[in-house]
Homo-oligomer: A and B are copies of this chain.
Amino acid sequence: MKETPWSLQPPAFTEIEQAATRIRRVLRETPLLESERLNRRLGGRLLVKAEGLQQTGSFKARGAWNRLSLLTSAERDRGVATFSSGNHGQAVAWAAGRLGVRRAVVVMPADAPARKIEATRSWGGEVILYDRNRQDREAIGRALAEEQGLVLVPPYDDRRVVAGAGTLGFEVAEQAGRMGAKPDALVVCCSGGGLAAGCSLAWEALLPESRVWAVEPRAFDDTARSIAAGKRLANASGAQSICDAVLAPMPGLLTFAINAPRLGGVAVVSDDEVLEAMRVAFAEFGLVAEPGGALTLAAALSGRVRTEGRCTVLVLSGANVDPDVFTTALAR
């Protein structure tokens, strides 16, 4: 049996702790907010992690910063390549610029939101567009990295990226403690599963009686189906959702291995429930949430994760939404 490469083995908890120290110099401790009205409405205590206020507008800055901080100086001089539906790409381009990495080549779907493509370029990223329904982004990214001598930075299947994402769980546990709250669950969005995996490892160590729950859009419920089946299953080719941030084709190797035995469960929500959640985040918190970032609130509002009579942390994971999509949510 082939040995699992080091980068695809789960990070130890100490690697998440070290990542938390590493990111503190540059990333933000995003606020953990609470709305008394929403608590009343749902009959429980909701804590909302406003991660859309993070550098580059999503949690992806955590994993990107942690991974790129660990490049050797020779690797920095070569540059990095990645593939991303948009938020990871922005984060890698930003981190590369801040850390003096020579190049950041980002393979993005041609139908990514205009602002994500522009933002990636604004951080100095070299954007290469591909057709999400006909081409394999990972293959393009790997080929590019090999041809041009770049270090490939996967969006989730890398222990350093997962450890970086796990700093969010680490930070929430600290913040909840300072607020005197004892969360019964942490709810995160799920695409490739990096955030869920990192947070699961952090919470296993810090809040062992609590569980991490994942939320997916209906057309991209690969993690829910994969966990039920006990093996990694892909999404249908051509699947559509407004949640452009969570369109990974299937669970990662590393992330699935971490998530399958640890997640409390996976909730699946509709695009309509997501739009309603975006409206509620606007009205109750003054926060912009992109569709993928509002999945968790959608699951809470629709009752697809239980919030009654308990304390639940919802991660609003990103804010990078085009104005027309946001307007659609407000028009409801």
Interface residues in chain A, defined as those with a beta carbon under 8 Å from any beta carbon in chain B: 28, 30-31, 33, 37, 50, 52-53, 57, 115, 122, 279, 282-283, 285-289, 319-320, 323-324, 326-327, 330-331
Contacts and interface: CB of A to CB of B under 8 A. Distances in A.
Contact of A326 (B50, B57, B282, B287): B282
A281 to B, nearest CB: 9
Contacts of A287: 53, 286-288
A323 B319 contact: no
Given A53-B287, A286-B320, 8 more contacts: A30-B31, A31-B31, A52-B286, A279-B323, A286-B287, A286-B289, A287-B288, A327-B330
- Counting every copy of the chain, the complex holds 2
Closest 10 CB pairs of A and B: A286-B319, A323-B330, A52-B286, A286-B288, A327-B327, A57-B286, A327-B330, A282-B288, A31-B31, A53-B286
Nearest to A323: B330
Contact of A323 (B52, B115, B282, B285): B282
Contacts of A324: 330
Nearest to A122: B37
B53 A285 contact: yes
A137 B141 CA distance: 64
A319 B281 CA distance: 11
Nearest to A55: B36
Contacts of A283: 115, 323
A323 B282 CA distance: 9
